[in-house]
Every structure is written in structure tokens, then in C-alpha cells.
Amino acid sequence: MSAEATNPATPGPMTPGAQRRRGRPRIDLRRLGRAALLGPTARDRLPDAIGHVAEAHRAHHPDADLDPLRRAYVLAESSHRGQMRKSGEPYITHPLAVTLILAELGAETTTLTASLLHDTVEDTEVTLDQVREEFGEEVRYLVDGVTKLEKVDYGAAAEPETFRKMLVATGSDVRVMSIKLADRLHNMRTLGVMRPEKQERIAKVTKDVLIPLAERLGVQALKTELEDLVFAILHPGEYAHTRELIVSNASRGDDPLAEVAEEVRAVLREAGLQAEVLIRPRHFVSVHRVSRKRGELRGADFGRLLVLVNEDADCYGVLGELHTCLTPVVSEFKDFIAVPKFNLYQSLHTAVARPDGQVVEVLIRTHQMHKVAEAGVIALGNPYAPPSEEPVDGERADPTRPGWLSRLLDWQEAAPDPDTFWSTLREDLAQDREITVFRPDGGTLGLPAGASCVDAAYAQYGEDAHACIGARVNGRLATLSTVLSDGDTVQLLMGQDPTSEPSREWLEHAHTPVARIAITRWLAAHPSPATPPEAPAATPRPSADGPAARPAAADVVVDQPGATVRLAGCCTPVPPDAVTGFSVRGGVVTVHRVACAAVARMKGAGRAEVDVRWGDTTECRVTLVAESFGRPHLLADLTEAIALEGVAIVSATVEPPSQQRVRHTYTLQLPDAAHLPALMRAMRNVPGVFDVSRAQHPATAP
Ligand code: MN
């Protein structure tokens, strides 16, 4: 059986003329949707009401058990009974139409069952528990996922929070979003009864959120119809103009698309290639786009040819014949079979030129590819597959949990409030092109076009990316601001210091919400008390207070001239650490790293912070801990490595080995703080040493 016979949602092999007169590619869906709307809903006519749904469902799933659909319909119909839509129709027409849309696209029985019930919990006495008891946990989960949050409880945040809830639910089961998209499509089809302001508001959310989601989930059939409905509401003038163009083109005598289609059929017949050649009229938005691009439209601009074949290999066979026997426009050739788009779409795209100069675009795909192109995850996702525990590498690794969805779920958790979530979601979805970069370990990262190394760092490491110190792009050292291209190999260099800090400047290069939110959050939690190290500073004065006192790289405190500065032994700050100070006895100010636990403790105790900043003296003292596997000569090798770096050892402690592991703690005097990373690297290179880090606690442990 061909896809044409099993999938009434796809344009059947009707004559080009008949299809073009209809003017809209999605006409079959709409016709059937209307049939469901008009269908009788009285109990004695029950089989008729659900009949269209059952028929469409059986066409895709011949063995489907229709009993859950009947039961769901009975419950939905009886509980919605008496409720009317704004249009005056019985409410049940809505869930029926939504379910029919999904059935047409090939959704499986559980989705359809939940779709019939999708508004019951929100609008009727039916409870989620009842849904679970009668239809099982999966149906309950789906119904819950699409149920709106109460405006009374959430106020203005109700809509953003509802979407957030829906996205989270979609992360575990993509069918939630399938139902939501079909629900929105039917609501958009019947939006005419609403006040114009409300129509516009709903159309805008549809444009910003639902349409990009439909595209990313590959549900082309829903996406194109939603686009046209939004177009008609938001740009009525241009919509009317486009309609005129389409109508007047259809009334023209000649049809270049039909002529080329005939030619193509002949060529393929000759070559012995079995294929269906169809004409796909462009939807309104597509015609509008083409007319903006090309100015005046010619007949061939109003549609494209679609060549459907049985086997993948036949696609290339067809391509070869077209390129040999017709005049190909090679610049239009794209291979989305070898290099599929992020949303599962696969096809060959090419174009052929007619003798009169008109260019006809041709799409070549198998029936299976066509089904996926139209219905996306609704047709493809295996909803019963357990959610993958592994992080998603490629965009195609798991069609039901694509990479972009994982990223979206990552940052939504960190979004501090509904407004930020809502505006960031729209922004994220507006970034429609994606790139794939490779990690040295062979994994991949999917990022929006324009993403930088900062974005890659946060995509890979989450908040641990705060410790990123640089990157290699295609083997070369690169700054974190480097914008990545599709196919780049990116190795992120991570600092070993767990208290490393992101730079405010990173925000300028952060393109993705996950990076921006993480950096902004960190900066908000760490208001910087220190100005940059290049700030001019007064001469530091040594303190007489204790062994840590020394000619410090820290400034004399701006608002306390002459104060003695002591770098805290607990966190041994060095430039350019962000630092803060506290006055202690005797006019001494101790300087801590802002991330030091002592800072939190003192602030918690109500101690006032003192503004401090680094001076231009770069000599510094630091305490390093080297974790190693015990072996002979380790101490000698380590101290030699330190000495070779020109660093003086102030003190050293070696703890007794435990389980073959030894910890050496060195307090060191560096001539230049900037030398610290090189020193730590040199120490790490000593055989047996597996980690070198800055001390978090007093060098002499209590
Ligand atoms: Mn609904």
C-alpha cells in the first residue's frame, strides 16, 4: 500500500489542476476537520461522531484497538455536554477535531485517547485520578501535560508557566506537544469568533512559540497551516494580496508546473524508475516569501514538484535522470538525505529550468521520508521507548528527545521567573538554524547558528563552565569569544580551580539561554567588590600581624588610607581573583576571595565588607595542594619542579599516605601572579601527581 493510500493528510494523486484550484496544500485536513465538526454528537449517533477518527486511525494502524477511543469519547462527550464553544457549537466538536488532526497524521492510539480527553480535566468535573483509573498512567500524563494552569492561581504568569510545564512534560513524552499543536491548530482555525485583540494575541504566541516548535518537531503539515492562519490575522492586507496572486495564477490557461511534471513522468518512465510525480502548491506564506524574493511571480513559482519513490537509492536515480535529461539549476541542489536537517526532514532538493527561463523546484523523497516530512515526530517517535539516560549527542540521536529540546529543558530550569522564561523561550525559538560542532572525544554538540565557545562551554559543562579558561577550535588556540561554524572541532580547556569565575565580558559572547542565564545568575550572586587589576593602587604596606603579613599584591584599601592589608590564609587570593575585604583588629584589613566560605560566614554575621582591589605589584603568595600517588622521590621531584619555575617555597607539609595517596601542601612565593597557571601545570606534570589545586582551607589544617 502506498503512503498516498494510507495517509489522507498528504495530497493524493489528484490531477494538478484540481489540486491547484483548491489553492491550499492542507485542504484535505481541513475538509475532514470540518466533517468532524459538523458530525452529529447525540449519543445514538456515537459511531458516526468518532467514525472519522476511527477511519483515519485504522488507515495508519490497521490493528489498532478502537475501544479506548470509544470510551474516551463517551467520557468526554458526557462531561462536556451542555458546554458550548464561542462559535455556538457543542464543545465536544473541539476535542474531536483535534483528535482527527492527529489521527490523520498517524498518531498512535494513546495520543488519540488523551487528545479526546485533553480539555476534560480543565473544564469539567473529570479528575486526573479518574483518567488514570480508566485509561492508565500514560493517558493521565498526557492529559496533565496539556492542561493549563489556573489563571486564578498564577495570574499573569499563567500562560508562561503553562508553557513551561508543557515543555517539561514534553521532555519526557513528546506526545504532549503533539496534542498541544493540534489543539492550537483547531483553535486557530476557529479563531474568527474572538475579539480582534484576542485573535492577535493568540496569533502572536502561535507565531513565536508554537510554529517554531512544530518546525523543530518536524510537523510540517501543522506548521504550514498554522503559518497561513497567523498570516491572515497579523497581516490581513498582504494575505489578501497573496490570495489574489494565487487566484489569478490559477485562472491562467497554461501551467508550467503541470507541463514539467508530464516531462518528468516521461523521463522516469523511460528510465524504468517507479515514481509518483505530484504538484505541491506552495502555502500562502511561502508564495508571499517567494514574491518578496523574486518580485513578480511566474507560474512555476506557485508550487513545486514532489517525486515520491519507494527506496532511498531511487532518490538518487531520479536525480540522475533529471539532471541528465532536463536542464538542472545546480546551485539549487541540496542533499538533505545524506545531511538531514535537525528536525528529521529528509529529501533531495533540486531545480530544473524550462526553455522560457522559468525555474521549477523539485523535491525527491521516499514515501517514508514524505510521511516524516509531513508528520515529523508524530509519525516517527517511538513513544514507548524508555527515555535515554545518556546525554543526547547528535540532534538525531533520539527523535523524541532532540538536542534542542534538552537544551531548552536545561535552561528553563535556571530561568529565575516566568517573564525571563517567556522572553528567552521566544528568543531561543527564533534562532532557527542549528550547527553541529565536534568534541575531541567524538561526541557532538548542537548549537544555534552564531554560537561562540562560551556557548559550547555551557552547553557541555553547565555551570561548571565557569571554570573554562580557553578553547582550541580545529586544533588552534582560540579565545572564548570565537564564533563557531558548522563542523568545527572544539576542545574546551577547563581550569582546575573549582572557584573559577566567569567573566562579565562572556555575556557579550553568550548566544544561548543556558549560557546567558548561568553567567547572569553567577554575576548576580557575586557582585564584584574589586575593580580590575589594572586599576591604579597606592603602595601596599606590610602588616606586622602574623606570618601571612607581607608586601602584598593587594591595594591599601581605598576608603581607609594607610590600613594594613593581609591576604587571608584560608583562600590565599592572587590576582586577578575577585576579592573582598573585612576590617579586623588593629586597623588590619584581611582580603579574601569572594567565593571563600569565610566571606559568607562573616557576611552572615553582619560584618561590613571593605572595598579592595588589586594593586600593580604582581608578587604573590599562594598555597597549593598537590594530590599524588605515593612513590619514592615524589617530594624531591615536586620541589624541583617548583624551583625550576623560579618559585620560592615558604613552607611545605606532607600528610601521611592513606590508600596509596599522598597530599603535599606548599605555601609558595611567586614573583608574578600571572605565573600561577604555568606553575600548576608544571607540578601536575610530575609523574604520580593527579591534581594540583589552590588550598580552600588554612594550610595548617586544624
Ligand atoms: Mn483544547
Domain boundaries in the chain?
12-234, 251-377, 433-525, 538-614, 620-694
pLDDT by residue (tens digit) across 622-667?
Answer: 888 888 877 777 888 888 889 888 888 888 888 777 666 788 888 8
In this structure, which amino acid lies at residue 645?
A: E
Ligand 1 centre to CA of 4 (Å) is 29
Ligand 1 centre to CA of 109 (Å) is 18
Find the mean pLDDT for residues 437-458.
83
pLDDT by residue (tens digit) across 134-187?
Answer: 999 999 999 999 998 888 788 888 888 899 889 888 888 889 999 999 999 999
Q: State the greatest distance between any 2 C-alpha atoms of the chain, in Å, as a whole number.
A: 100
- Answer whether 259's CB lies under 8 Å from 326's CB: no
Please give the grid coordinates belonging to residue 311: 527506496
The predicted structure's pLDDT at residue 402 = 64
Alpha helices in 582-650 (DSSP H): 597-604, 634-644
Lowest mean pLDDT among 157-161, 339-343, 619-623: 339-343
Please give the grid coordinates belonging to residue 102: 492527529
Task: Give the Å distances, CA to CA, from 570 to 125, 293, 408, 495, 599.
Answer: 62, 65, 39, 20, 10
The C-alpha torsion from 689 through 693 and 697 to 701, rounded to 10°, is 10
Ligand 1 centre to CA of 84 (Å) is 13
**ω into residue 328 within 30 of 0, thus cis?**
no
The predicted structure's pLDDT at residue 553 = 38
Ligand 1 centre to CA of 206 (Å) is 14
Percent with pLDDT over 90 in the chain? 34
Ligand 1 centre to CA of 323 (Å) is 48
Lowest mean pLDDT among 48-62, 97-111, 256-270: 48-62
Task: Give the Å distances, CA to CA, from 332 to 308, 373, 444.
Answer: 19, 19, 28
Q: Is the pLDDT of residue 528 over 80?
A: no
The predicted structure's pLDDT at residue 32 = 40
- Answer whether 404's CB lies under 8 Å from 342's CB: yes
Which CATH number is correct for 12-234, 1.10.3210.10, 3.40.50.150, 2.60.40.1180, 1.10.10.10? Answer: 1.10.3210.10
| Enzyme catalytic residues | 122-123
Task: Give the Å distances, CA to CA, from 591 to 70, 398, 577, 579, 603.
Answer: 73, 50, 11, 6, 13
Ligand 1 centre to CA of 46 (Å) is 20
Lowest mean pLDDT among 118-122, 245-249, 381-385, 489-493: 381-385
Distance CA 358, CA 335 (A): 22
Ligand 1 centre to CA of 428 (Å) is 25
Q: In the CATH hierarchy, which fold is given to the domain comprising 620-694?
A: Alpha-Beta Plaits (3.30.70)
Ligand 1 centre to CA of 143 (Å) is 11
- DSSP string covering 523-562: HHHS---S--TTS--PPP----SSTT-SS-SBPPPTTSTT
The predicted structure's pLDDT at residue 218 = 85
Lowest mean pLDDT among 540-554, 655-669, 682-696: 540-554
The predicted structure's pLDDT at residue 189 = 94
The predicted structure's pLDDT at residue 413 = 77
pLDDT by residue (tens digit) across 202-225?
Answer: 999 999 999 999 988 889 999 999
* 251-377 matches 12-234 in CATH topology: no
Q: Specify which residues 584 forms β-bridges with.
A: 588
Task: Give the Å distances, CA to CA, from 388 to 177, 402, 616.
Answer: 18, 11, 52
Ligand 1 centre to CA of 78 (Å) is 16
Q: Tell me the pLDDT of the chain averaged across its residues.
A: 79
Which CATH number is correct for 251-377, 3.10.20.740, 3.40.50.720, 3.30.460.10, 3.40.980.10? Answer: 3.30.460.10
Q: In the CATH hierarchy, which fold is given to the domain comprising 433-525?
A: Ubiquitin-like (UB roll) (3.10.20)
Q: Is the pLDDT of residue 594 over 80?
A: yes
On the CB side of 423, CA atoms within 13 Å amount to 6
Please give the grid coordinates belonging to residue 353: 529550468
Find the mean pLDDT for residues 224-251.
94
Ligand 1 centre to CA of 183 (Å) is 5
Rg for the chain, CA atoms, rounded: 33
Residue 155: CB atoms within 10 Å = 10
Please give the grid coordinates belonging to residue 116: 479526546
Distance CA 392, CA 376 (A): 19
Q: Is the pLDDT of residue 94 over 80?
A: yes
pTM: 0.61
Pairing relationship of beta strands 468-473 and 444-448 according to DSSP bridges: unpaired
Lowest mean pLDDT among 6-20, 78-92, 282-296: 6-20
Closest CA to 460 of 491, 431, 486: 491
